[in-house]
Amino acid sequence: MRPQHRAAPAEPTGLVFPPALVRVLRERLASDGCLVEVADEIIVQLLTTIFFAGLETYEGERNPIGVAFLGKSQSDFIMPEGTESGEALLYEWKVMQFGSPRPFAIRELVKLAVAGVDRRIYSAVCVLEDGSLAITGLAREGANTDSKAFVKIVASNPGSLSIRRGRDLLLGYERGAILTGGEELVFSAGPIRHALEMTAQAAGLGGDAITSYLDAVRSIVREMAAHGHGGIVIISHEEEPQVAASATYKMTLDSSLASFFRLVGRIRARQSVDLQARPTAQKTHQSSEPGTSGAGIPPFGRLLRNALLTEVERVIEEFGALTAIDGAVLLNRDLALIAFGVILPVGSPTAVVHAVDSQGLHGRIVDLGSRGTRHRAGFSYAARHPGSVVFVASEDGQVSCVVRSSMQHQVRLWHLGPNDVHIS
């Protein structure tokens, strides 16, 4: 169990500019990551240059500026844990080095942005031995995108920055405001985690797959909070949740995130069986057969696993993007898309308690009159569907979560902020 953290220091109030983001990043990365050994003034230069590059165009077109910050690393490959060095196809990051470093300058970033972060290619930025920043090559993101070795900084629109490490959104910044980031949106204990675990179990998941399920929900909510338009995500406890027949965007049931997690679990189990079945000598000897690794496990299994995880990330990003459309995104217990743009009815007044602790043991009654239509619609849905978890994001990135257990009449509400809790 990871230790719980106390509430993080308050974020800067009012308009903030890129140099002010350094303190926030320091708090959220703590003593871990490639920024640790880098001076504040270097990070200020890094963020400020990317920010202004996002305002520029190249030959009349504006492209997202994408940077993979390597810190002081000179590695050409970042490999998944347990992967043999010969399995080059399994990289998490591959850095294609320039013959000589290029200046870390706005014009260089704008020119290289044509390669495009949509193709998972970023400008690789390092700290040289003299302490200066330089563009040392192009960094290609591989199949396993949860690597936390590098920090990704993207200016997708003028005046915005998105800073990620692996799948974690450290900070979203737009028009002088910090929108979101740093939240652990799934409680380490309490009603929220319990409700999601019960839903995952109802979907037939167990063990590591439940952890992946919780992480996927957290990532979807972070995507929703990051785009700055607000939104609603409903994680239904039902396999076939009812949606109004008048819903404009009702989907034909397709593959689900839970199905991907089940496949990943089978691949892991199969690899474990294959490894145990091999003689000890074969496990420690590098096989000469094509398609095998020194660990005695065919790399195809890992390639398939990483391809599935990459698809999971793509689906998560799609779900998050759909929350920018007016209405709710409704997912069933398998995390399959049932509908989006769903206009939820605002029912009769519901008793809502704003919980002040993770367990929801203490709280105060919410004044519904002070809440907007989006929040009141979320409250009403949670009241009518016990066990379902409803996440509501305001346009300023503030995220609330509401749930009602089948044993209680009241709906409980949490405001989720930086470093509230950690997943065990």
Which domains can be identified in the chain, with CATH numbers?
A: 18-175 (no CATH), 191-259+310-416 (3.40.1700.10)
Q: What is the pLDDT of residues 109-135, one digit of tens each?
A: 999 999 876 678 999 999 999 999 999
Q: What is the pLDDT of residues 154-212, one digit of tens each?
A: 998 899 898 988 767 788 888 787 766 555 545 566 788 899 999 999 999 999 899 99
Residue 81 has pLDDT above 60, yes or no: no
Q: Alpha-carbon distance 38 to 61, whole Å?
A: 33
CA distances 325 to 120, 231, 248, Å, are 25, 8, 12
* Residue that wins the pLDDT comparison between 328 and 255: 328
Angle CA(21)–CA(25)–CA(27) in degrees, nearest 5? 120
**This prediction's pTM:** 0.65
Phi, psi for 27 (deg, rounded to 5)? -65, -40
Query: For residue 226, what pLDDT is reported?
Result: 78
Beta strands in 226-326 (DSSP E): 231-235, 249-250
Which residues are CB-contacts of 208 (< 8 A; sequence separation ≥ 6)? 265, 268
